[in-house]
Structure 1
Amino acid sequence: MGKIIAIANQKGGVGKTTTSVNLAASLGALEKKVLLIDADPQANATSGLGIDVESVEAGTYQILEHTVTPQDAALECSAPNVDLIPAHIDLVAIEIELVDKENREYMLKQALASVKDQYDYIIIDCAPSLGLLTLNALTAADSVVIPIQCEYFALEGLGKLLNTIKSVQKIHNPNLDIEGLLLTMYDSRLRLSNQVVDEVQKHFNDMVFETVIQRNVKLSEAPSFGESIINYDAASKGASNYLSLAQEIIQKNSNN
């Protein structure tokens, strides 16, 4: 039975897509079968894995509408053992189209029921908002990874996200778990980075992943080549950080 993990934070620029793509690729490199779902209309996870967004005919939009099955929408991408359900800018319209539908929060959950057994992990890259798309992801997910940037306003908005997760647990998905808080864009030379790490660990202690994602030029370069960090530069700090995160998640889930 595959585990569905949503990567969510309504703040933009915290490393959600970087984490979704590279966690999926790292799990794939560790011989897990992975499905990555791009649930962000910006479609950065799609282009970041070498798929031309304009050529996408079936993707997250169609599986939310239930006009295509996830099996038919899934594409092979540049990362080994990873299939991708791509996004397209048309995903922007889905929130309006789903508004009148019954059980609108459960569309993704229903669609994924048919493929859950075919993958070890299903990773959902959420949009930077707490709208209906993210709600669908949280309702479908078993757990959520929350990337937190090691910067001044790091904890701003986190309370709002945790409240959203609480209400999803109460109303739509009692089994939703927080997989962990992931510190990203860490620069050991900056006092501020170290302060944020200390503060997050102090407030949330065992909810925080041991792995910290460091600032790494290669991580920012990889998407422009349509590759994950594992393919682009397996020897980089970014690759070893994400492999370590993947191992931490595998370890955690094998103990449960």
Structure 2
Amino acid sequence: MAITIALANQKGGVGKTTSTVEIAAVLTKLEKKVLTIDFDQQCNLTKNAEADRNLPTIFEVFKEEGVDLNKAIQKVPAGYDLIAGSPSMSRADKEFEDVQDAYLLADLIEAVGPDYDYILIDTAPARNKLLNMSYLAADYFIMCVDSGEDSIDGIDAITTDMMKFHKPGKRQLSESKIMGVIVTRFRDTNIGKAVIEIINDKIDNEIPSDIKTENKPFIMTVREAAAVDESKMMHKPVQQYKKSSTPAIDYRNIVDEIISRTEQED
């Protein structure tokens, strides 16, 4: 069964989609079978991966009867599989009102999980039912932050929500754990070092053990470099566009850590 990882933060623009693309690209190069799910109504993962927009989207899979899940799964040029996002997911809170709808993503992953080694969920930067579905579907969460105060506060928001879904006796029970934090666009400055210290303190003192991996969640950085923005414009992972760049190297190190931890958990 696949290991499912959600990339999350309730603030936008902190590198969730970039991290999803790069982690998927590295895992694919390591001959892992990877499925990515664009769970953001902005559909940045779908656009970045140059997915076929004529195939069924995640919204259609969830809402329309008779949609073949297998037809919604497509292989993108970078080599991994993807289920495309849809702007209609912006209506999630109104469209998915039934109690059982909370398990739509978990049910999908259960259906396709045997075919993959890793499933990556690119979550929306919002506190909504889609994020709640992710809490119930993912094995692990990796939070993406930058040096902004709002993105660091996003760690607290995710922590609070995860704890709600971990309460004993709660009908919608989650077993997801925080695996780590990726600091994107990192600069080795006093501010950069302060951000690492703040996150480290949160992990040690503010995140309950119930929602942390047994090994302390990692804090890893992706150094700022023009190659990331350039690769986005080319619709390629930086692993393909400029594999010798510092961000490409950093993401390879992150994937090594992910694989090491998931193998230990197994």
Structure 2: runs of 5 or more not aligned? 205-214
Give aligned pairs, total.
251
2:54 to 53, 56, 71: 56
1:88 to 86, 89, 96: 86
Separation in structure 1 between the aligned mates of residue 186 and residue 249 of structure 2, nearest angstrom: 14
* AA of the residue aligned to 2:131: T
1:169 to 163, 166, 173: 166
How do 1:173-212 and structure 2 match up within 5 A? Answer: 173-188=173-188, 190-205=189-204, 207-212=216-221
TM-score w.r.t. the length of structure 1 is: 0.91
How do 1:124-163 and structure 2 match up within 5 A? Answer: 124-163=121-160
Structure 1: runs of 5 or more not aligned? none
Offset, 1:153: 3.9
Separation in structure 1 between the aligned mates of residue 199 and residue 150 of structure 2, nearest angstrom: 12
| Structure 2 match to 1:7 | 7
Percent of aligned pairs sharing the same letter: 27
Offset, 1:126: 0.2
Separation in structure 1 between the aligned mates of residue 6 and residue 142 of structure 2, nearest angstrom: 6
Verify the 8 A CA contact 1:145 1:180 in the aligned structure 2. yes
Verify the 8 A CA contact 2:181 2:219 in the aligned structure 1. no
Separation in structure 2 between the aligned mates of residue 219 and residue 239 of structure 1, nearest angstrom: 9
Separation in structure 1 between the aligned mates of residue 29 and residue 129 of structure 2, nearest angstrom: 32
* AA of the residue aligned to 1:177: K
Q: Deviations over 1:112-152 (max 9, x none)?
A: 21101100000000000110111112211111111121234
TM-score w.r.t. the length of structure 2 is: 0.88
Separation in structure 2 between the aligned mates of residue 30 and residue 57 of structure 1, nearest angstrom: 27
| Structure 1 match to 2:105 | 108
Separation in structure 2 between the aligned mates of residue 253 and residue 199 of structure 1, nearest angstrom: 26
Query: Is 1:250 aligned with 2:259?
Result: yes
Cα RMSD for the two superposed structures: 1.8
Offset, 1:174: 3.4
Distance 1:95 1:85, change over 3 A: same
Offset, 1:155: 2.5
| Structure 1 match to 2:210 | none
Offset, 1:176: 1.1
Query: Is 1:123 aligned with 2:109?
Result: no
